[in-house]
Structure 1
Amino acid sequence: MDQPQLDVGSTAWLLISAALVLLMVPGIAFFYGGMIRSSNVLSMIMQSLMTIGTVTVLWVLVGFSLVFSTGNGFVGGFDLVGLSDLAQTVPGVHLDGVPMLAFAVFQLMFAVVTPALITGAGAERWRFSAYTAFVALWSLLVYAPIAHWFFSPLGWGSRLGALDFAGGTVVHANAGVAALVVAAVLGRRTGWPTVQHRGHNLPLMLLGTVMLWFGWFGFNGGSALTANGIGALAVTNTQISAAVGLMAWACAEQIRFRKPTTVGATSGAIAGLVAITPAAGYVTPLSALAIGAAAGIICHFAVSLKALLGLDDALDVAAVHLGGGVVGSLSVGLLATTSVNPEASDGLFYGGGYSLLGAQALTLGAAVVYSAVVTLLIAVLADRLFSNRVSPRGEAIGLDLFQHGEAAYAIQTPRETAAARVPSHG
């Protein structure tokens, strides 16, 4: 590593962005945890924590290499295994003045966030051991190949000309369709949809939303890989799309139900964040406004599809992340412009014709189909090995006590409360 050539500003920005993206994982845990019953909130948090541990180990050993080393266009090879040679370069990636390790740890956080998103689909019934095995296999067999297609310049999607600035397809559409498969394999929660499984702590959900929103500035802004105008554009577009998505979803609720909700407003903000992710560094701020509005409205109506399909996607992961990922990825084909990023291609609305839109649609479709098929195979294997779903008794007790022997909230009985009031005389 040549220290005099180190770009301190860009390296610092990438490392800070990595920390911001890591903050999104507890954000996911709190966001999901607040929307489920109090007897399952720790299980949701534990799944996110285990995702951090499992994916980090696999990323160092082989995951980073499978995504970014030289391969066959479908998946990388083993040139970067173990992150052992710090002087190595990442094939095709221009890291001007940024150490490989800074890039590797930044990309690690994307690999952690993606499977953590899936947990919302299996809330309140997914066995912890089965989930852990699922995450390990899914990270290597689903995330790594799809990330190679788009994030590595050597992947077939990149060579085709598809653009995914920060993971609209790699992260969100990928996790969204996987969540749909997981919901189908696990089956419905007991009593769903007749029994309403209401969130126990919406302020906790709001805290998770704020953490996600804050972390998303690193998610998108850091994907510029340097502290420059593209990074500033990505951060600006991120804020715009989230704000408009929030407003669009709330307006849709007001028109349909006469009652805008905090759950709806936060879901709209997340939908806006998801949709701008693939486009953040390729579109103008006005385009970001349009993308956020489209995501807020489309994802709002997409929530209703799970009832039609009979799939208990407990926390609407597919509606928000698959729906938002599709909106964002296709929006790149319409609204990308070289006027804001010379490394992009012009979309249909900027005179670029249908070539970029076609590349976006083709690669998005391939990623969704591949993810769905391999996720199904992994889920079936995990079920054979560990049994994916907890027993009816465990579901009734709650996963916190049944699987982890803990309770999120210490609730005193009347006798304990009275005893606590008795003065002590030493």
Structure 2
Amino acid sequence: MANVTALTDPAPDWLNKGDQAWQLTAGTLVALQSIPGLAILYAGFVKKKWAINSAFMVFYAFSATLVCWVIWAYKMAFGEQWGSFPLLGTPGPVLTMEQNLAQATLPAAGITTNYNLSTMIYFQFVFAAITVIILGGSLLGRINLLAWMAFVPLWITFSYTVGAFSLWGGGFLSQMGVLDYSGGYVIHLSSGTAGFTAAYWLGPRLKRDRDSFYPNNVLLMLVGAGILWVCWNGFNGGDPYAASPDAGVAVLNTNICTAMSLLVWTTLDFVFFKKPSVIGAVQGEITGLVAITPAAGFVTGWGAIIIGACSGSIPWISMNVLGRMEWMKKVDDVMGVVHTHMVAGFLGGFLTGIFATIDGCAAFGLKNPGGAIEGNGKQVWLQIVGALFIIGLNLFMTSLICVFIKFVLRIPLRLNEQKLMVGDDAVHGEEAYALFFEGERSHISLHATGYDSGHIIDTHHLGNHHESGQSSPPTPGASKKS
């Protein structure tokens, strides 16, 4: 715990201002990946009627995770070991000035940094937040907002913290020697598995939405994807916990792998579908970012290129071949998180077991004999064991949480059919784009009184238009008057 000097000295002996500045910058870059990165990527990908709800899910998850994080969850992931088995930290708050000004340590992992605990808390928080936000990409377009509000704190508490402590906080997987540089398992394998599992319990979107679900704004989606890519420099570059040479290696490898993955995915789209899909390129970008994450500072540049080639092809096969099979279609994973995060995360962790170098591990501060290319074939099996634990954890905990919300809290997981037909206006009373008349909402609205040929007639808004002297929006089947 902090002493008097640490509380009063603005530059204690243990503080390295370069490390402090970089860690705060890296954390802020990761925060930008969620808000606005994934918020606008999701908003651009979905139908117009779900743009606001999809973005708001991101903002809610970001906020709720932070409150849980500082009151109990941070210590569960990075605090003193709780109990005799190294699976979880002891819950508790991290809100006092004495705690926050003290030098940051991860006691169970035996790690001490050159900056204060507040910086570490914030940096680890943004990773927790983006994990549940990625998971939410599987559930867009039909989840009940109240169910999402309950799901986020429960999942962060009972699933994320276990994986984080096990691999990063000094738990049993890190003691076994499983490698996860920056979250290929803790974040991506976890969110991909949990997202697919939660989508199973939630059920699919309306059939009409699932059959016709074109992105409402591809350019907006590209902006979100661009933010995601560039800000990944903080995602992987911040995990040495220092402005170290290994941080630079991680940043370079991240961009090499991502570029290679995007090019391979685009090439496969062109070869098999005769057109280079922009949305496909975004998927290839994401799989590259995910696959390099567990390996970022452990591998050479050549290793990053090979991982990128694999992440641009194997998840492509998973999405475009396996994803089209009837048994896979039964689970409505809107953003394809099972392919872009679960498959790519497992792939990246497995390839880390092959291409990790002794020098890369040493630069990260690990006494690890590297992967199979260094003659340590055992590392491949360790990576598989780590992956299986994370998959099993998230299958079980996510299912348990969904059942708890539905049958114990008695909160419906899905919105009712009328709200599913309407979208944002039914859930939030707002619409994303002012495309009707002089900015009024469309005739499909919360205030509907009934259905007519599959459409909702908004008598409330019709009355408003009459009162203001404007012409009424056409009712279904009515002829348009000049």
Compute the TM-score of the two structures, normalised by the length of structure 2.
0.83
| Amino acid in the other structure paired with 1:351 | G
- CA 1:202/1:415 → structure 2, altered by over 3 Å: closer, same or farther? closer
What per-residue deviation string (whole Å, max 9, x for no partner) do you get for residues 324-350 of structure 1?
A: 100111111000001333124310122
Would you say 1:63 and 2:76 are equivalent positions? no
Look up the SS of the partner of 1:98 in the other structure.
strand
With 379-388 and 244-253 compared, the bigger mean Cα shift is at: 379-388
C-alpha contact 1:306 1:312 (8 A) present in aligned 2: no
For the residue of structure 2 that corresponds to 1:264, the secondary structure is helix
| Alignment pair present for 1:149 and 2:169 | no
Say if 2:338 is the partner of 1:318.
yes
Which residue of the partner structure matches residue 384 of structure 2? 361
SS at match of 2:86: coil
Correspondence list, 1:186-205, <5 A: 186-191=202-207, 195-205=211-221
User: Displacement, 1:296?
Assistant: 1.1
Give distance in 2, aligned partners of 1:108 and 1:414: 42
Tell me if the contact between 1:121 and 1:315 (Cα under 8 Å) persists in the aligned partners. Answer: yes
Of the candidates 34, 38, 41, which is equivalent to residue 31 of structure 1?
41
**1:90 maps to which residue?**
106
1:336 alignment partner in structure 2: 356
Unaligned runs of 5+ in 1: 421-426
CA contact (8 A) 2:74 2:91 kept: no
Distance 1:406 1:414, change over 3 A: closer
C-alpha change, 1:107 and 1:44, in structure 2 (3 Å) is: same
Following superposition, the deviation at residue 79 of structure 1 comes to 6.2
Q: Of Structure 1 and Structure 2, which has the larger fraction of its residues in helix?
A: 1
CA distance in structure 2 between the partners assigned to 1:82 and 1:334 by the alignment? 42
CA distance in 2, matches of 1:31, 1:302: 22
Distance 2:347 2:206 in 1: 33
Question: Does residue 277 of structure 1 match 2:293?
Answer: yes
1:22 is matched with which residue: 31, 55, 65?
A: 31
Q: 1:78 to 1:395 in 2, by over 3 A?
A: closer
Q: CA separation in 2, counterparts of 1:278 and 1:319?
A: 16
Give the secondary structure class of the aligned counterpart of 1:85.
helix
Letter in 2 for 1:378: I
Displacement of 1:306 = 3.5
Structure 2 residues without counterparts, runs of 5 or longer: 1-5, 441-464, 471-482
Q: Secondary structure at the match of 2:99?
A: coil
Code of the aligned partner of 2:165 = H
The equivalent residue for 2:128 is 111
Task: Please point out which of 342, 345, 359 is paired with 2:369.
Answer: 345
Matched with 1:424 is none
Aligned residue identity for 2:384? A
Question: Relative CO higher for 1 or 2, CA cutoff 8 Å, sep ≥ 6?
Answer: 1
Aligned length: 417
CA distance in 2, matches of 1:332, 1:143: 22
| Preserved contact between residue 72 and residue 92 of structure 2 (Cα < 8 Å) | no
Q: CA deviation at 1:9?
A: 0.2
Runs of 4+ in 1 over 6 A off after TM superposition: 414-417
User: Following the alignment from structure 2 to structure 1, what is the Cα–Cα distance between the partners of residues 427 and 80?
Assistant: 42
Deviation at 1:16, TM superposition (A): 0.3
Does 2:391 align with 1:378? no
TM-score relative to the length of structure 1: 0.94
Matched, 1:406 2:430: yes
What does 1:254-269 align with in structure 2 at a 5 Å threshold?
254-269=270-285
Q: Residue 295 and residue 193 in structure 1: after superposition, are their counterparts in 2 closer, same or farther (change >3 A)?
A: farther
Larger Cα-atom Rg: 2
Map 1:126-165; keep pairs closer than 5 Å.
126-152=143-169, 154-165=170-181
